Structure 1
Amino acid sequence: MNNSKNVSATPLTAPTRTLQAPEPTSSSSRRIVNFNKNTDNLHNNNSSSDVSVPVSPHLELSDSFAALSTSISSSATATTPTVKASPYYFNNKYTSQQQIQHSTNINSPTITENYSPFFSSNQLAKIKPICSTVNITDWSFLSTEKYPSSLNQQDAIDLEMSTIGLSIELAANNMKTRNLNRLMDHLLELFENLQRIQNQDIIIPIETYNALLLTRIFIKQFADNLCNQEIIEQIEDDTSRKRGEQLFKHLLYILTNMDPSSNYSTYEFYVEVLNTFFVLISTQLYQQHLFKMEGEEDNYFLNLLMTKFHNRAETIVARLFENFIAQHLPPPQPPAGALYTAYSYFFSSGRNSFHYQQNNSSPPVAERSLLLLLLLGNQPENDWTKSYRRAIANLNDHHVISSDMDSCDGGKMHLISFKNLLDIFLKSIHVEEKMLLFYLILVENESFRVYVLSRTDQEHIYLPILKLIYESMEGTSKFSFSQVYILLTILLMFSQDDMNNDAIQKITVQNIAWFTERPLLKSISLGGLMILVLLRIVQLNLSQKKDAFLHTNCLAILLNMSSTLSDMHSYIAQRIISIFEVLAKRYIKLMDNQQQQQSDDFIVYEDLLILLMEMMNSTLTYRLKQNSQLVYALLQKREIFNPFQSNPRFIQLVQNVEEVITHFNTRLAEANLKAPSSNEVLRLIEQATRTWSNHKLILLPNLKFSYHQDPTTSSEFFIPCIWALIQKKYFIYWSENKSHILEAYKLINQEFDE
């Protein structure tokens, strides 16, 4: 047999899901989202291959993670207090306190029964004039007493309920008073003063923190409830000042230059800076289309960030990664009396300690940096957003050699610790946002991907992923639709590397307690365990979920691994043949019914059988001598291939299998053994491999699958997932009734669960 022909890698992509939301109960909703995107079918790049990829009766495989072809209408209506002299129509815009209670996903009485005002009465009395018809020119009150921090879910709810009425009043009066504009101007001056201080151990002035918090609060309400043009009219009354652009300029300076771990005040302030970034770009939650359609307004703040500061993407991305890798805990607060007089920073409001679940969550700065990274790195692709993906791609390990640094196109090379980053991922791969970042950097950064695949402890990488997928399909863990897809995609990317496929065949794992399908399986290769898990997913998916992406992706991974399989366990060989036999019986049953031969199910089963045959053919072609157990399993079930001998799509594949069966069956017959044991048969098979030659087989292309992400459509899948994760963190409250992207996320996961 001559050297194999390699088929160009077949790009495997994610499914399209067309979801229809329930009919709206009101037509007065503020914003309606409608993600409509044309998608391309999965296709093979080599027309000479006889292999076609399955077409699902339920889903159509399409552009990478373009999973949200969604038409969603919100049914939310709001009860709004009467506002005099308002330049805007607030009806059905602002969210009432009752709606906050109704739309929060918490049944606990903590939210509704234990509500308390976020600000003290003295603080509130000084804030209210900002929202009134009075022109405020003296901001000294901001330096008298530090406002509390919003550090948890209850704080976020209390803050929202405490500021709705104030924000409505401010929106009604600000066009005349311009108090918000003057507040922002004052904040920008305070930022400039802060930048002049070179001391790394600086204590953040109360006035600066308070001004930032109020600005964030009011802009958040405007972003929630006003359209793009209204936001611009409220903020940009003086085009020469460009307040939005200046605000981003200073926030980015703080983000990239301040050390949040210096002391408690810098940590708390840095968290508030990150919160402000989320608020500024949160109008994306309410967009009519994730992709800007003709005649639609831009997302003002997000557009500013992407167009005006894209040249700083590499520094921004590197700093966010550094924050995430560092996992800095909040510094301890000073003793109660130490700084109280000179700096009234710490007071007993009950809102001043950072709390988080260390088993699942990262510290606040690391967590918010991670979420902001995901948002920036997954935006719909254009000339400006590409810069963030390029920034992720250009990151390098801090162990990079000096010669590599010198050849970095004359630019600055940003270095992070790949080892520490991977360690975080492996310890918490079950945490969805960390899984998403692991996926993102694997897709974008070749250096990190090579680093991961070059590790000698691959079991520490594969076992957590296999466990999560297996338990999710077995129903022993609650895993979302998006997580299963992403983990399978990660495995598909790994399977594109033949050296890695070969390496995991040589790693032995023992006593895998979570693998309950075969409890007595005490020892097996890591590659063998992966095959068993993927075959189990195929079996369960075909009987339960019937999701095309799941079984096609699993078989694509198996096919990529097939030419490197060695020392196959007897149970693996039996499972491969038994699944083929089950699929063959269903296929033959459909084939006997002429009407069913044109059905989607018939096509799916035929394509799955083709892929399994391709897998077996590849292993027999390249690793037959190392896989006696597969030959033995074929000899035991040779009759299951008979119905496919005359099918044009199967002919060559079946002929190769029959050639193998005939050769070894002949050698067994020549031995003339009476009732041989399995060990005797295996010994004869191993002896017969010495006279086996691949030249007897028909030369077939070596079919390979690769993962291709189309960044122009992948954001339709990822952006809703990321915003849903941010919303779940509850460090800022957003109304679910108006956040249409969150509704899309819930719908796709509900469909998967069903």
Structure 2
Amino acid sequence: MGAVPSTPRWSGARPQDTAEYLIATFVGEKSFPISSDFWQKLLELPLNLQWPSHRVRQACELFVRNNYNTRNLAKIFIHLAWCLQECISTSGAPSVVYGKALNALYISSIFLKYLIENAKTDKIEELHLFLDEAEPTPTDVTQGLTIQDFLVHAVLRFIGSIDVSPNTYVLHLELLNFMLIAMSTQLLSGPSPGLKDVNPFIDAAMAQESSLVISVVCRLLVNYITHPPFNTASYSIFSEGSQPGVLQKVSSAAANIVLLPFNYLVSSSGEGSKGPLADCSLHVLLILIHYRKCVLGDEFITDKSDGTAASDSNLKLTMCFSDNPYCKVVENTMDVEFDRLDTEGNAHNGPVLRLPFASLFDTLGVCLADEAAVLLLYSLLQGNSDFLEYVLVRTDLDTLLMPILEALYNAPKRSSNQIYMLLIILLMLSQDSSFNASIHKLILPSVPWYKERLLHQTSLGSLMVIILIRTVQYNLSKLRDVYLHTTCLATLANMAPHVHRLSSYASQRLVSLFDMLSRKYTKLAEIRDNNMHLAKGNSVDESGLSDDTSTEMHIYTDFLRLVLEILNAILTYALPRNPEVVYAIMHRQEVFQPFKSHPRFTELLENIYTVLDFFNSRMDAQRVDGEWSVEKVLQVIIVNCRSWRGEGMKMFTQLRFTYEQESHPEEFFIPYVWQLILSRGALSFNPGAINLFPADSPPERQNDYGMFPNGQVNGELERAVFLDA
């Protein structure tokens, strides 16, 4: 029992016929015990079988019908885990079992992907990840582990313990591709994680011991940092004697049942791409760290309905998220060259991952044109205080900032989500005063990608001001997203007190920003007045006509006030160091006149006019031969900046904006991660089966925004900018 009837022998039989027979048997009705030699023949056979796509689909459809009785998916998963265990015991050295593991991976990937894409129920019951009751279960699977736990443990153990080398590269890559397929069950669920979501493989990954989780995160990040090259010439496994290779590269990935690698022929090119293994490692890491499993948790509530001092504690079940060990590892990762114990006298509880932050910093700087790299940088800055601190003390901040600013400069070519992520990163960095000071000390010889104007010997801080204002202008004309405006202006407000020698062009753009917003405000006021006039003339209720316009006017009033606060912060805390700002305000002083009597702006404009009066009087006192030139005016301003004492200036509480995640960030990030993966071609998926986000339109964040006073912090008014889901 267990033999394969009529199986062609190796001698005298064509491998093509043998492969055809074994694959047909695998998807057919007959069930073979897990100990049958059928499995060895299936996995040891050189699989260079090429089938048209319609035959692959037919095989998958037949497999789905028969898997309930045969449980062949569960059985090949067990054999895959055994092969990986054996590979680990031989330290990944080339061997027959290495080829068996790859064959098991290819077959598993194809049929698992089809089953997930075509699942008829939310519970994906078609997987049948358990053996028939009549069949004895292998002893090493019965140790309290489900088949998916057993398999995922073996996959992650290989990834975490076996180094990437020319001999192991393909298996590493295919295991990561398999994990992408296995975790794609998330695509079947809605955007908000719920108790009924079924993600058996990613849940199994979450259940692994901490030491394995650390080793996996380490391997994924090291793969991303080092981007090991793929060189087929170094693989002895591709050919062996006169026999066909265990793997055969084919011309069309879509038309073959076995291909090398499963996604290798799918283009992973694009800006910031570091090669298939590095890209796939990043994708798997992003899925793992942003995953959230919804569970029922205990919450104690106090019942005082009887009005007595005594109280009864009742247990109430509430929905919550279980801990994500991969997210915790990333948040606690430390620099390999720095030990916080030396400075704070304590250390993290338990083992922590140590990585070379310098290499990670440099890698991200090179790859930020890639949206996935931007999301990784965001995740590190948001969750890992050590990495944030490391970035802030770097003296070469242009390594990160220049690609960020260039991406914002090319905003029309970027997705709105990428623009949001980049702006939030800038906002997080601007919360640190040392960052705001240091960016003005770093001088850029040139900015070749900035086409509108030649920027020569411009500070990084001035360039950042220019790009943020340009982003506001782009948003005003194209996206019209209030949240984007808010984030840009909040970052500028954080930078304002620390501005040092802002360039003439950046200073002009800052005043022009107020002018641009004021013209928009004035236009809205005219529309509102016209609507009210028309409503009165036609005896129509005017409130409904003006509501939308009034709401928009209120928003622009906030923006105008914020720009005035930015100018005030520069004039109050940094005027002597910024003569170009004074010149720009004097040159365009007429733009402030219409708002002198506006109740929201009066106090702020009083300071601006105090500065104007001071420097205008100094100008009037100067005798100049001929007409005033820019150079002469600027020279008078520079001379009088030295005698400026700020007399008559009203001191306002310094603004400080902070970024805070919404209470349910997973509703944005989980769909976003998968949208990135699918858009990069790392995984194809049936659009009709996707419930995580509308398949015809990628998930975009909403246009809501929040800018709320958050109490006094060190004498400064702190506001929080929230990213809504």
The TM-score range, normalised by the shorter chain, is: 0.7 to 0.9
Q: How many Å separate the matches in 2 of 1:292 and 1:648?
A: 48
Is the radius of gyration larger for structure 1 or structure 2? 2
Alignment of 1:25-424 (within 5 A): 120=16, 122-137=18-33, 138=36, 139-148=39-48, 161-198=54-91, 204-226=97-119, 227-231=121-125, 234-237=128-131, 242-261=146-165, 263-264=166-167, 266-292=168-194, 296-307=196-207, 312-331=212-231, 332-334=233-235, 339-340=240-241, 345=246, 351-352=259-260, 357=269, 360-380=272-292, 383-401=321-339, 404=342, 407-424=346-363
Q: CA deviation at 1:507?
A: 1.9
CA contact (8 A) 2:160 2:212 kept: no
- Compared CA separation, residues 633 and 199, structure 1 to 2 (3 A): closer
Determine the C-alpha separation between the residues in 1 that align with 2:616 and 2:355. 58
Distance 1:135 1:387, change over 3 A: closer
- Is 2:292–2:322's contact at 8 Å kept on the other side of the alignment? no
Contact 1:379 1:719 in 2 (8 A): yes
- TM-score, normalised to structure 1, is 0.75
SS in 2 for 1:706: strand
Q: What is aligned with 1:486?
A: 421
Question: Alignment partner for residue 553 of structure 1, among 481, 484, 487?
Answer: 487
Which of 435, 440, 452 matches 1:517? 452
Amino acid at match of 2:284: L
2:603 paired residue among 640, 652, 656: 652
Query: What is the alpha-carbon distance in structure 2 between the residues aligned to residue 407 and residue 147 of structure 1?
Result: 55
In structure 2, C-alpha distance between the alignment counterparts of 1:538 and 1:713, rounded to whole Å: 27
Q: Distance in 1 between matches of 2:452 and 2:567?
A: 22
Q: What is the CA distance between 1:375 and its match in structure 2?
A: 0.6
In structure 2, C-alpha distance between the alignment counterparts of 1:620 and 1:417, rounded to whole Å: 41
C-alpha distance 496-190 of structure 1, shift in aligned 2 (>3 A): same
Q: Return closer, same or farther for 1:654/1:716 CA change in 2, 3 Å cut-off.
A: same
How many residues get paired? 617
Say whether 1:607 aligns with 2:558. yes
CA distance in 1, matches of 2:54, 2:674: 21
Aligned residue number for residue 572 of structure 1: 506
User: How many angstroms does 1:620 deviate by?
Assistant: 0.3
3-state secondary structure, aligned to 2:241: coil
Contact 2:586–2:612 (CA under 8 A) maintained in structure 1: yes
TM-score by length of 2: 0.78
Cα distance change of structure 1 residues 380 and 198 upon mapping to structure 2, 3 Å threshold? closer
C-alpha distance 161-396 of structure 1, shift in aligned 2 (>3 A): farther
1:739 Cα deviation (Å)? 2.2
Amino acid at match of 1:193: E
* 1:440 matched residue in structure 2: 379
Assess if the C-alpha contact under 8 Å between 2:115 and 2:127 holds in 1: no
- Work out the CA distance in 2 between the residues paired with 1:148 and 1:314: 37
Further displaced range: 554-563 or 684-693:
684-693
Q: Secondary structure at the match of 1:292?
A: coil
| Separation in 2, partners of 1:644, 1:359 | 46
Structure 1 residues 297 and 484, CA gap change in structure 2 (3 angstroms) = closer
Shift, 1:501, TM fit: 1.4
Deviation at 1:433, TM superposition (A): 1.6
1:379, 1:715 within 8 Å by CA — same for their partners in 2? yes
CA deviation map 1:282-307 (0-9, x unaligned): 111111343115xx343333333324
CA contact (8 A) 1:617 1:653 kept: yes
Contact 2:445–2:457 (CA under 8 A) maintained in structure 1: yes
Amino acid at match of 2:426: L
Instruction: Give the whole-Å Cα distance in 2 for the aligned partners of 1:348 and 1:513.
Output: 42
Aligned to 1:689: 641
- In structure 1, distance between residues paired with 2:125 and 2:624: 87
Percent of paired sites with the same residue: 28
**Distance change in 2, residues 1:502/1:744 (3 Å):** farther
Q: Is residue 619 of structure 2 the alignment partner of residue 668 of structure 1?
A: yes
Deviations 1:427-453 (A, max 9, x none): 221122222212221222222222222
Q: Quick one: structure 1 residues 636 and 225, their matched pair in 2 at CA, closer, same or farther if it must change by over 3 Å?
A: same
Q: Deviation at 1:535?
A: 1.4
Secondary structure at the aligned position of 1:599 is classed as helix
Q: CA deviation at 1:162?
A: 4.2
Give, in whole Å, the separation in 2 of the partners of 1:736 and 1:680: 65
Measure the CA separation in 2 of the matches of 1:257 and 1:723: 27
Residues 246 and 144 (structure 1 numbering): CA distance in 2 closer, same or farther, change over 3 Å? closer
What are the superposed Cα offsets for residues 638-692 of structure 1, whole Å, 9 maximum, x if unpaired?
Answer: 3332332332221211111121112222222333557433333323323333443
State the one-letter code of the partner of 2:634: L
Q: Deviations over 1:49-86 (max 9, x none)?
A: xxxxxxxxxxxxxxxxxxxxxxxxxxxxxxxxxxxxxx
Measure, in 1, the Cα distance between the counterparts of 2:53 and 2:203. 26
2:592 and 2:603 map into 1 onto residues whose CA distance is: 12
Q: 1: CA distance between counterparts of 2:81 and 2:512? A: 69
Q: Compared with structure 1, are the counterparts of its residues 589 and 304 closer, same or farther at alpha carbon in structure 2 (3 Å cutoff)?
A: same
**Worse overlay, 369-378 or 355-364:** 355-364
CA RMSD between the two structures: 3.2
Instruction: Confirm or deny: 8 A CA contact 2:518 2:560 kept in the other structure.
Output: yes
Using the alignment, how far apart are the partners of 1:665 and 1:540 within structure 2? 34
SS in 1 for 2:444: strand
Give the gaps of 5 or more residues in structure 2. Answer: 1-14, 252-258, 294-319, 533-545, 704-725
Partners of 1:402 and 1:453 in 2: CA distance = 16
Give the direction of change, closer, same or farther, for the CA distance of 1:450–1:624 in structure 2 (3 Å limit). same
Q: Is the 8 A contact 1:228 1:299 kept in 2?
A: no
- Point out where structure 1 has 5 or more consecutive residues left out of the alignment: 1-118, 150-154
The residue number in structure 1 matching 2:588 is: 637
Q: Secondary structure at the match of 2:389?
A: helix
Paired residue for 1:585, among 519, 528, 548?
A: 519
In structure 2, how many angstroms separate the alpha carbons of the residues matched to 1:358 and 1:482?
A: 17
